[in-house]
Amino acid sequence: MILSIESSCDDSSIAITKIENNELIFHKKISQEKKHACYGGVVPELASRLHAIDLPNILEDTKPYLDELKAVAVTNQPGLSVTLLEGIAMAKTIAVSKNIPLLPIHHLKGHIYSLFIGEKQILPLLVLLISGGHTQIIRVEGLEKMTILATSIDDSVGESFDKTAKMMGLAYPGGPLIEQLALKGDENAFDFPVPLRNSKLIAFSLSGLKNAVRLAIESLGGADEMSEQNQCDISASFQKAIRLHLIQKSKKIFEKEKIKDFAIVGGASANLYIRGAYEELCKQYGKTLHTAPLEFCSDNAAMIGRYAVEAYKEELFIDPYEIDVVRTKKQQAGMLL
Ligand code: KG4
Ligand code: ZN
């Protein structure tokens, strides 16, 4: 069995996965969402302190399995440096004290493997990853053979949901709230621009849309003056612009890529409106759509464990005394991912 740890943002999570059949034996996650809600986003230092309390509590529950561990896996990139360090410290301690190999795991690869929890992997695969930190289309041909075909040039889909909610005075995370409000709204009430609509660029951009939403909210007198119907209409119109943008750029990739299997992963892939749009698109292009169960769309250690099973077979180990956070340029500048 492999014990996996995830602490890249505001979820403390540990899983145990069986190596021979990918079965998820144990999984627990403590979400800090409510503790960050009043700040409208994740506060890194607070998140780190909460991981230091929650991870050892979850680890207590894994005691029955600890003697059967063959390896330990931990997310070491990308994410908030101060929260990644909490998971790394725990993983390192387990690896050293039990003298078992340590596997460093890339969080986004974990999201991709959320599709295969308890199942065999499907390769090759085209993946749309929409999370709080990333918006990308990736060609997945192997464990380490992943090519980014399109990426956001500014904000991510998840972040734009969160900011739209914040601008309307709603809590964090905004994605699920906006999705619910949109159900009662008119998606044609506001004519938000579809990002990069007239550009040949196969990329994503969300910052202009975010600004258009801000101006619309201001024109209604700001968050305090808006009616609930205004909130619903903004949510629906915003989601429509996101859908049109994602679909327009995905079509361009579908026209070039012959791979039959397509998947959506990441926190925002829990959005049923977006899933619905991709069901249509996949039908149109003869592709098979794969999605992870809703409980594994947002951050969790089960997906880290599932990727770790494949990494274990390929012996992608790291010396426990060498492991550290892998820092990207953005992280050095203090940004989320
Ligand atoms: O993958 P994730 O848990 O964390 C990162 O790796 O970033 O994604 C979190 C993001 C948040 O921005 C959240 O608002 C968004 O996923 N999200 C949603 C929905 N559920 C979560 N966005 C749109 N619709 C949803 N139903
Ligand atoms: Zn994530």
Q: Which amino acid is at 208?
A: G
Residue 14 pLDDT > 60: yes
Q: How far apart are CA 289 and CA 257, in angstroms?
A: 15
Q: How far apart are CA 126 and CA 200, in angstroms?
A: 21
Residue with the smallest CA separation from ligand 1 atom 23 is 175
Compute φ and ψ for 273, nearest 5 degrees.
-65, -45
Residue with the smallest CA separation from ligand 1 atom 3 is 298
Cα(269) to ligand 1 centroid in Å equals 7
Instruction: Give all domains of the chain, ordered by start, each with its CATH number.
Output: 2-117+296-332 (3.30.420.40), 125-291 (3.30.420.40)
Relative to the alpha carbon of 37, which ligand is closest? 1
Report whether 248 contacts 205 (CB < 8 A). Answer: no
Mean pLDDT for the stretch of residues 237-243 = 98
Q: Within 10 Å of residue 326's Cβ, how many Cβ atoms?
A: 14
Q: How far apart are CA 268 and CA 156, in angstroms?
A: 10
Q: Which residues contact residue 163 at a Cβ distance below 8 angstroms, ignoring those fewer than 6 apart?
A: 155, 174, 210, 213
Q: In this predicted structure, what is the pLDDT of residue 90?
A: 98
Residue among 161, 246, 295, 299 whose CB has most ligand 1 atoms within 8 A, to mutate:
161
Q: In this predicted structure, what is the pLDDT of residue 337?
A: 34
Residue among 109, 265, 298 whose CB has most ligand 1 atoms within 8 A, to mutate:
298
Q: In this predicted structure, what is the pLDDT of residue 175?
A: 97
pLDDT digits (tens, 9 = 90+) for 111-122: 999 999 999 999
Q: What residues does 104 pair with on adjacent strands?
A: 74
pLDDT digits (tens, 9 = 90+) for 52-87: 999 999 999 999 999 999 999 999 999 999 999 999
Residue among 114, 127, 130, 131 whose CB has most ligand 1 atoms within 8 A, to mutate:
131
Residue 332 pLDDT > 60: no
Confidence label for 329 from pLDDT (cuts 50, 70 and 90): low
- Alpha helix segments (H runs only) across the chain: 33-37, 44-60, 81-98, 107-113, 157-167, 174-182, 207-219, 228-256, 272-285, 301-313, 329-332
Q: How far apart are CA 12 and CA 277, in angstroms?
A: 32
Relative to the alpha carbon of 11, which ligand is closest? 1
Q: Which amino acid is at 17?
A: T
Q: How far apart are CA 58 and CA 61, in angstroms?
A: 6
Q: In this predicted structure, what is the pLDDT of residue 41?
A: 82
pTM summary value? 0.95
Cα(228) to ligand 2 centroid in Å equals 30
pLDDT digits (tens, 9 = 90+) for 264-293: 999 999 999 999 999 999 999 999 999 999
Confidence label for 330 from pLDDT (cuts 50, 70 and 90): low
Taking alpha carbons only, the member of 181, 157, 173, 165 closest to residue 244 is: 157
Residue 334 pLDDT > 50: no
Cα(121) to ligand 2 centroid in Å equals 19
Give the pocket of ligand 1 (CB within 6 Å). Answer: 9, 131-133, 158-159, 161-162, 173-176, 179, 266-268, 270-271, 298-299
Cα(320) to ligand 1 centroid in Å equals 31
Report whether 167 contacts 217 (CB < 8 A). Answer: yes
Continuous segment of H or E residues that includes residue 128 = strand 125-130
Cα(131) to ligand 1 centroid in Å equals 5
pLDDT digits (tens, 9 = 90+) for 142-182: 998 999 999 999 999 999 999 999 999 999 899 999 999 99
Residue with the smallest CA separation from ligand 1 atom 14 is 175
Nearest-atom index, ligand 1, CA of 266: 1
Q: How far apart are CA 127 and CA 289, in angstroms?
A: 10
Cα(275) to ligand 1 centroid in Å equals 14
Report whether 115 contacts 109 (CB < 8 A). Answer: no
Cα(10) to ligand 2 centroid in Å equals 10
Q: Which amino acid is at 171?
A: A
Helix orientation angle between 174-182 and 157-167, rounded to the nearest 10 degrees: 70
Residue 294 pLDDT > 60: yes
Q: How far apart are CA 291 and CA 28, in angstroms?
A: 21
Relative to the alpha carbon of 156, which ligand is closest? 1
pLDDT digits (tens, 9 = 90+) for 96-108: 999 999 999 999 9
pLDDT digits (tens, 9 = 90+) for 311-326: 999 999 999 999 999 9
